[in-house]
Structure 1
Amino acid sequence: MDELAQLNDFRSEVPVQEDLRAEAERLMAGMSAPAPSGLRRLALRAALAGGLAAAVGAAVFVVQSPPVPAPAPPMIRTVAAVEVLSRAAERVGSRPELHPGPGQFLVYESRSMDTSEGDGGIWLSRSKRTIWLPVEGSAVEGVLQEEILAPLPYPGHPLPSAARAEQALVGKPGRPERAADFDDRAEFLRNDYAYVSKLPTDTEGMRRHLYTQVPDDGLQDYQAWNRVGGLLDESYLPAAQRAALFRAAATIPGVVTVKKARDAAGRTGTAAAMVSPNGVREEYIFDPETYDYLGRRGVVVDAKLANAPVGSVVSSSAQLKVSVADRPPSVE
């Protein structure tokens, strides 16, 4: 099956559910304009040619410091969320754990697909990536090696000429590069092992962490949901903190279960999800048997807000392997 057929298959397996419509309307109540793209999840990503890019192999952190701190709202567990996330919490510790030490690196191998824009066009960028991140310290000390895959059209749009820069790199193995030029995240947004291994191990404590300095602007639950993803993608939590994260995530209002979801590697699982202010259902996908985290997926539920047909997949990732290394490859 070619990539376009696979993308269409992704669309066909996503029903439009009334509870998701209601959640999208709730999130957008009180908003006069779509939220800026800065509200999307924080991620290390090799920048590519285009409006969202800087240079191949260089990743940039974008940080928006919330202006007004607000306490986490009361915990309300929903049956839909508990179905996936509580099972994931219960299965934590059933598989061998990694125990990286000072001076070592965690190595993440993954595939990803994300929206890119440039020169008035929009498309889907894809890559295979391996990133070495220090157990303690800044991502600036990390190393990224990325293989660019053929870009795909953004659903409902032709592939623009701006995507040609990526097409020219297809089939050329990437060289190790610095993972980031700078890392100015606030302390509470860190996701290196030295920091996350000291996070709370109880549900209420982890929930307070997810809502740290989140403004009470109607989008606080979605921002907390984004922070869950920041602790899952290219981050490794010890078992106690991981279980607390899943239980805390299950208490975020608006989280629903998606019975069938597929990650960027084509693996099928079950997901916990929330609708973003941009009309996209942001899913965290788990293996249906082991409940190991597989990856994420963004599925359109509001065509007008997302500028794409309902059911379209506009982002996805697959976490393929996490390991420990004494050192990363050298950077030329």
Structure 2
Amino acid sequence: MKRPAGQVPAAPHIPVLLDEVIAALALPGAALAVDGTFGAGGYTRAMLAAEPELRVVAIDRDPSAIAAGAGLVAEACGRLRLVPGRFGDLDALLADTGEGETSGGLADRVVLDIGVSSMQLDQPERGFSFRHDGPLDMRMGADGPSAADIVNEAEEAVLADIVYHYGEERRARAVARTIIEARRRGRIETTAQLADLVAGVVRAEPGSGIHPATRTFQGLRIAVNDELGELVRALHAAERALRPGGRLAVVTFHSLEDRIVKQFFAARSGRSSQGSRHLPGALPGDVPVRSFQPVTKGPILPGEAETARNPRARSAKLRAAERTAAPAPAPLDAIRTLASLPEPRGGARR
């Protein structure tokens, strides 16, 4: 028996821009949705409640998130399937479930909430936050190099690039030098060690309430998890997975993520023909493939009430677009470039 709308239990963590995301997705009549970033299940729970006939395939690379979602799977009465994996592979993961067979293997809606979850930040043993001392890990999954591996083994120039380009830290070279000097005395293993090192060379902005290590931790986290590369792959995967008339909603939390989403939608809706310094324009005579049309005019931002209730929402932006009937074109190399560290020039790195 299917659970009626409104009887899905409340979420332990409320995601940002929840009402705006549900409105942008236009769920009535949708049969199959993909939540590419399940986390604590906030968007999935809201989608199940909003449309009683909807089935959801939810993806997360974090094994603890998959395990924690078992209760919601049971309460969704067959309407929810949790899939371990990376959201950059969401089209392949959806195909493997067989959930889309009745609609030609395609989804009606896709939602992506980019970045680290509150659940991960609140667990000191995960090493995402400098506010709680713990091992310097930062891996969303259980594989690959940790933040400690990068901090203790990467060359100074690579560290500086990660902190500068992914963390947007102006003092990146000083941070990298300090890390190199400190690790000569021994490995840097904890979040407190790294935060203290960064605080010694980066000044806190008066009145901002932002810890001096915030941007360095952001840069390392993005590098550890290849977050921007994964976002680029997810946008293209959603493009392949959505049926004509399907909708994609993406929530980002900093300028690097939002720039990628903005440029992707601009290119795929034919609005970037003039080009920009981030995304070169089309060649003369080229006709852009319009695989999406915008649903939102620019980004949707949280209101004052939400930011007062949830400070994490302050930097959030929502963009949404609707899939057209055009076949999915080749991936955009210029968008991939936005997710990568710049190539060194003449052997010198920032």
Normalising TM by the smaller chain, what interval? Answer: under 0.3
Larger fraction in helix: 2
Larger CA Rg, structure 1 vs 2: 2
Which has a greater percent of strand?
1
TM-score by structure 1 length?
0.27
TM-score when normalising by structure 2: 0.26
